[in-house]
Amino acid sequence: MLTYYFRSVEDDGLKEVAEAQSGVWVHVVGPTEDELQTLINTFALDADIIEDSKDFYEVPRMEKSAGTTYFFTRYPLTDKRQSNYTSPLLIVMGESFVVTIALNKIEQFDQLLSGKISIYTTQKSQLFIQIINILTNSYDKELLRLRKGVHKDRAQLQNIGVKEIERLVNYETVLNSMIDSLVPTNTWLQQVTGGNYMQLYQEDLEEMKDLVIANNQVVNSARSIMKTVQNIRSAAEAIITSRLNNAFRILTVLTILMTVPLVISSLYGMNVPLPFQDSPYTFYFVVLINLVLLVGLSYFFRRNRWF
């Protein structure tokens, strides 16, 4: 779906317009071939770069062609049912327009479209900064949720099981996806502050530098949580391995304790002449021998901390 938005400093709020004009913001969600072709023809965009916007696995990068700058980034998906955790977003900065192309609806943009965050489409640099800032805040909120879940699992480390291990693996996958998106995005953000890719006023430049710092903090936070997850996984694996070894050791001890009396009892069950076989106390003698051996073996195992 292709929608044109416009707002100047003289307008009361953001409004939809019927067609492209100077200062317009064009937002496209799940674009069709016809819509992409319309964008290419209307704004003289690079067809090959626009074609890349359809690739769900497109990596963050920046390109410049014929005076227009193309910024590929990724944002966290809010739909937890998705098998992927980030989705691509292309931001096109032209001389008199801004185009954003996404394969999925960007829930985070509701703040812009509903007017909760005031924007002016004629101020392209400010609009770009606000878009990136919203995505950065979205990552930060997602990391806060992950941090709470990780700390909860760490507090219950002694009771950790298969489900908790699977959850930690999922956390690690999400964090890897975020870091893979944030790091290259932050690289081209630092290049943008040089002013060679879009016009930046002094106020815009300061905000861009703050945005780079904020993005760096999110990356560092993601790496910190990743390290915590890896430490918990290592500790959990050590605990599970220790439990497994203890179980095998106990089973081994029980097997030995049961085998010794079984061997002695089997000997006295043979149809051959045996010592004390005619004595009325033979049964008690065999039981006594077994008890002595069991007590002796139990003491030996206990002393050596086998159980």
* pLDDT value of position 111: 82
In the chain, CATH 3.30.460.20 covers: 1-122
Widest CA span of the chain, in angstroms?
A: 117
Per-residue pLDDT tens for 209-259? 888 888 889 999 999 988 888 888 777 777 777 777 878 877 887 787 778
* pLDDT value of position 100: 92
Least confident window among 152-161, 182-191, 297-306? 152-161
Q: Give the whole-angstrom CA distance, residue 87 versus residue 30.
A: 12
pLDDT band for position 293 (50/70/90)?
Answer: confident
pLDDT band for position 80 (50/70/90)?
Answer: low
Q: How far is CA 307 from CA 101, 243, 299, in A?
A: 64, 12, 10
Q: What is the mean pLDDT of residues 110-137?
A: 85
Q: What is the mean pLDDT of residues 65-84?
A: 77
pLDDT band for position 201 (50/70/90)?
Answer: confident
Q: Find how far residue 60's CA is from the centre of its chain.
A: 17
Mean residue pLDDT of the chain comes to 82
pLDDT at residue 82 tops 60: no
* pLDDT value of position 89: 92
Structure tokens at 87: 């989705």
Q: pTM for the full model?
A: 0.75
pLDDT at residue 22 tops 60: yes
Name the CATH topology of 1-122.
Answer: Beta Polymerase; domain 2 (3.30.460)
Structure tokens at 229: 């997850």
pLDDT at residue 90 tops 90: yes
In the chain, CATH 1.20.58 covers: 247-303
Report the range out of 50-54, 76-80, 261-265, 303-307 with the highest average pLDDT: 50-54
* pLDDT value of position 180: 87
* pLDDT value of position 276: 67
Report the range out of 154-168, 257-271, 286-300 with the highest average pLDDT: 286-300
Tell the residue number behind the tokens 């002016």, with chain if given.
120
Q: Give the whole-angstrom CA distance, residue 168 versus residue 171.
A: 5
* pLDDT value of position 155: 67
In this structure, which long-range contacts are made by residues 35-43, counting pairs with CB atoms below 8 Å and at least 24 apart in sequence? 35/1, 35/2, 36/101, 38/2, 39/2, 39/99, 39/101, 43/68, 43/92, 43/94, 43/97, 43/99
CA geometry: angle at 207 spanning 206 and 212, to 5°? 100
Instruction: List the CATH code of the domain at 247-303.
Output: 1.20.58
